[in-house]
Structure 1
């Protein structure tokens, strides 16, 4: 595997950086842009990542208008805000109906347009504009995008039914993709953009991953989805490789990285691979961007080794016992440790003499690995793949009765949307939550606030019910009111001491606020600062965590805890 140096590669005009949240997409894209611009090429860097820290990297205010960076004459940077764009798009659709339709109908429309799919569509709208803009093509040697559209979004945009009046006329219901409403005039631009993406002589997809199993699996999924659409010109960047291991903690990390990379999926192994070493500094400011990819690095400054005391998870557990919580969810974005935290919470409550039921969506064999002694703890496992498979087949079976061709394909593609999996396991969650009548229930994930509101919206909920049995189980009828009862239910927000996971948790918190679901406590998981490592790089990383731990402390109104880094961390 070679060190990543864009100056030594034959690159296409359009470069898309994609990968799981927090793997270093923005960092890699910025370093590439600066390296090429410093080499004399005209470069524009565009981000549509909601969690992008592009402004922090360049330490300047950015907008959706390309801005020159004075220190780098050949570089222009734009930072689109897809969340604001999605809100504007939502209002353009809903606004004309205000004062005409009942408030309940307006609320339903707004929630239909509040999911991640809307943000993706808004992001792709910006992509399409740049990919098909002749002025951009003529002015710049390289056009670099921080974040690429998902294969699901591209497949959906390619379907004719997505651009028809299907959504207005169909009474079967769709889970999340009403977001295309009002975009009919964009079809031609989108088609040209998709063709450009699939042209290997014009476009390269740069898959960014951490040298960790969860990130690698996400890269594999994204790569496969896009390859299905003919986007095969891909390269793999392994970001954050620990190259020097000299104490117990660093040796464990290095061995884990080595093992995960040794089992790299065949699908990814066929692509050219590069690595970026784990650096001791946060990549903010041009001085850090310019040296990130250099082989020779500056000497490490003296690291603040002050031992900081933070509240531990036991503080949170004690509060759950004191306040008599009966339903406890661990929530957070993928890769933050929901499963391991749920297990720790369940075991701690059980040790305090509580009758506890632990429910997880983690594969059963992994549960046994994590749990060890399960005596006194009742367990259940929600098989997400099985629930999703059965749910999809139920919906498609019903669709076949009245649809064919493009309309059927549209429903089929809609079922690939992010909300579908949450809806599929919704019934299983509801049944498990009922167990809280006589024991504490700990569940390692939950439907997001958006999905709960989507299902609760009168029209949307009815449509989802019509898809399957036609009747509403009592467990589902009771679920949302119970989740909204802060005396009974608590959501423990799990995050990591890094920029992207914290920002993603903030958006998740917004979802829960809209659904009126309590989330008093936050846990900053996998903190390196609590390990007392002597490895110079890891010590510096630990020092950088302080900023994000303090931010969580403020966000949670001091209702937070910190858990130290542990090996064999996957979920």
Structure 2
């Protein structure tokens, strides 16, 4: 790394009279929101008028600052110069629809208005609406700095691609799936300006936050490369949550600290960024102004962190819950195993909670028990290859264990397949019609143009997702889904697209009719006899509350109940015999009890390990420990006999 020649403070502080922008991204659960909040607080304390914006569909700024924020710009209490907003995708979509339709009411008749309204019922309007809010804040002269706490990495890349994609769409003119192009000429100029600003290093800083772990660092490498292809260079890196040396008194935690320090050293030698900062794990959660100030002073002022290893939590250690009593392996095993039909298992949750590892572990144990099993990742930042230690492609392939296949949805290949499917359908529509050659050419040209729209990517991902409900030969299909907010979006899509196509919109009129198929998929996901949804979390306030809110949204919006909860990264009792880990255990036990009370479902308990399980042997051993499926390992012989 050509690092630390520039300080972190020099990178984020404004250098001109124009509003400047700082973007934080990274794998979910790495402390991205904490670092964003600390940065915004530090800038405000240094007399810069600062706005903090989260584009994450599952935001937690309100939790960190201890006050309601929501979709309106809100002043943060007790901090001069700082305001914040949590962009709500549903509210943003409705605002966008009204903003688009209102100027047309005096110009169009009722039928024409209805057509526009149908176009604006397209599910991809939510995506462009959220981005529209994002673009608005890139033209904010009232602020010296705007700090963006963005969605987890894979979706941040998508957000950054949007200005170019939609700009190309509007250049075509005519009708688009986000409304008539003629009504959005002013947006076109904004999108062009957004592209220029994102690529301007004098006005935009892009920073990654990661944990001192190989998987987190590997993802940063991939994401930085993807951003570079968009002309956006990352300049700043924060490695968050390393173990303080003074608390690692036994081989278990000494080994974990050594691994962390090796990962930090790799970053220092291999990454080409202007500056890097590190921040240690604290005995409690980072919330409240004092700890945010500590984070800011360490990262930007070069101060030593205040880690009071004996700091008491607000939890009575003697009165905390009995962890073993919370586990319910038999009930969890019942949710994992199929009956007569294929069972669909969905593992979702805040990024960075070990969701992919738990999904791969469960799939491995189910295959070992004799069930034909497929594990699929829908996460744009897929990690199944790292976990299995084998290639995982777009189509299901064996991962060197009987009964076990794996696949990852490749967005480019999914889009290519969708385009081919739609164009084949158009050709079939005109194949038996005499004298329709000109009509066919016009229709194909129109559809080909529509398939260049960014929303075609969303439809393609949906089509691929739905296709796994049609795979024959599997007893179980395990979905390792994208981080929480985007999982909800994916699960809403069958209903959204069905309603959109039922309107008979020309935009989707060329696609093969899928309405009945989507009905079946929705019903399957809603049927607890066929599908089980599990939220993976770890016992801290923010991931617990995010999982709880997402589970409530899942039930309210899609009609799906949570089957069980996976509590991951539980500190082992036999290691870490000091006040630092006693405090963290007490905190974990408190939130385990609250998780049980809130969800009222069975719980799978997964301990923190010396190393994350990699390869089939380690996954099987981990599965014996956490899934309740160990007694099923002889089931294959029973089924064969």
If the TM-score is normalised by the length of the shorter chain, which range does it land in?
Answer: 0.7 to 0.9
Match in the other structure for 1:144: 147
> Aligned pair in 2 of structure 1 residues 61, 476: CA closer, same or farther (>3 Å)?
closer
- Paired residue secondary structure (1:72): coil
SS of the aligned residue for 1:22 comes to coil
From the CA coordinates, give the structure whose radius of gyration is larger: 2
Rounded to whole Å, the distance in 1 between the matches of 2:198 and 2:306 is 35
- CA pair 246-155 structure 1, distance change in 2 beyond 3 A: same
CA distance in 2, matches of 1:134, 1:54: 23
Gaps of 5+ in 1: none
Matched, 1:561 2:585: no
Closer, same or farther: CA 399–328 of 1 in aligned 2, 3 Å: closer
2:208 pairs with 1:194? no
- Counterparts of 1:526-537 in structure 2, within 5 Å, are 526-528=569-571, 533-534=576-577, 536-537=579-580
What is the Cα deviation at residue 208 of structure 1? 1.5
Which residue number in structure 2 is paired with residue 295 of structure 1? 304
5 Å matches for 1:364-443? 366-367=387-388, 378-385=403-410, 389=413, 391-392=415-416, 395=419, 411-412=451-452, 414=454, 417=457, 420-427=460-467, 429-432=468-471, 434-435=472-473, 440-443=475-478
Instruction: Give the distance between the partners of 1:83 and 1:531, measured in 2 at CA.
Output: 45
**Offset, 1:532:** 5.2
Note the aligned Cα RMSD (angstroms): 4.8
> Within 5 A, what are the aligned runs for 1:33-112?
33-62=40-69, 66-69=73-76, 71-73=78-80, 75-89=81-95, 92=98, 112=122
In the aligned structure 2, how far is the partner of 1:474 from the partner of 1:407? Answer: 23
Kindly tell me: are residues 188 and 90 of structure 1, through their superposed partners in 2, closer, same or farther at Cα, counting changes over 3 Å? closer
Deviation of residue 318 (structure 1)? Answer: 4.3
**In structure 2, C-alpha distance between the alignment counterparts of 1:266 and 1:476, rounded to whole Å:** 50
Q: Say whether the 8 Å CA contact 2:570–2:608 is kept in structure 1.
A: yes
CA distance in 2 between partners of 1:280 and 1:43 (Å): 29
Relative to structure 2, which stretch is displaced further, 554-563 or 457-466? 457-466
Distance 1:53 1:547 in 2: 20
- Separation in 2, partners of 1:264, 1:403: 52
Tell me the equivalent position of 2:221. 220
Residues 182 and 229 (structure 1 numbering): CA distance in 2 closer, same or farther, change over 3 Å? same
Deviations 1:277-305 (A, max 9, x none): 22222121111112233414153324654
Q: Please, which runs of 5 or more residues in structure 2 have no aligned partner?
A: 15-19, 378-383, 391-398, 425-440, 482-486, 620-641
TM-score (structure 1 length as normaliser): 0.76
Counterpart in the other structure of 1:314: 329
Distance (Å, rounded) in 2 between the aligned partners of 1:467 and 1:266: 52
Q: Which residue of 2 aligns with 1:496?
A: 538
Question: Which of residues 521, 531, 535 is equivalent to 2:564?
Answer: 521
Match of 1:156 among 143, 162, 185: 162
Residue number in structure 2 paired with 1:251: 254
Deviations 1:180-239 (A, max 9, x none): 997554333333333222221112112222223443344334433433332225211112
CA distance in 2, matches of 1:43, 1:71: 14
How many angstroms apart in 2 are the aligned matches of 1:261 and 1:422?
38
Q: Residues 305-349 of structure 1: CA distance to partner in whole angstroms, max 9, x if unpaired?
A: 446325326143344389958514132144433443345445666
Q: What residue in structure 1 maps to residue 553 of structure 2? A: 510
The 3 A distance-change label for structure 1 pair 93 and 378 is farther
How far has the Cα of 1:367 moved from its partner?
3.2
Which residue does the alignment assign to 1:332? 348
Displacement of 1:29: 1.9
Tell me the secondary structure at the aligned position of residue 59 of structure 2.
Answer: coil
**Could you tell me how far apart the structure 2 residues matched to 1:539 and 1:230 are?**
47
Conserved 8 A contact 2:367-2:373 = no
Contact kept? 1:315, 1:561, Cα under 8 Å: no
> Quick one: which of 350, 356, 373 aligns to 1:358?
373
Structure 2 counterpart of 1:549: 592
Q: Deviations over 1:92-121 (max 9, x none)?
A: 389999xx99xxx999978743x7x72x53
TM-score by length of 2: 0.69
> Is the aligned partner of 1:238 residue 2:248?
no
Counterpart of 1:275 in structure 2 is: 278
Q: 1:227 to 1:441 in 2, by over 3 A?
A: same
Supply the distance in 2 between the matched residues of 1:32 and 1:339 (Cα, whole angstroms): 30
Counterpart for residue 13 of structure 2: 11
- Which residue of 125, 131, 135 corresponds with 2:138? 131
Cα deviation 1:40-84 (Å, max 9, x = unaligned):
4443433343433323333333355555556433x2212233235
Residues 207 and 237 of structure 1 are in contact (CA less than 8 Å); yes or no, is this contact kept in structure 2? yes
Could you say which residue in structure 2 is the equivalent of 1:211? 212
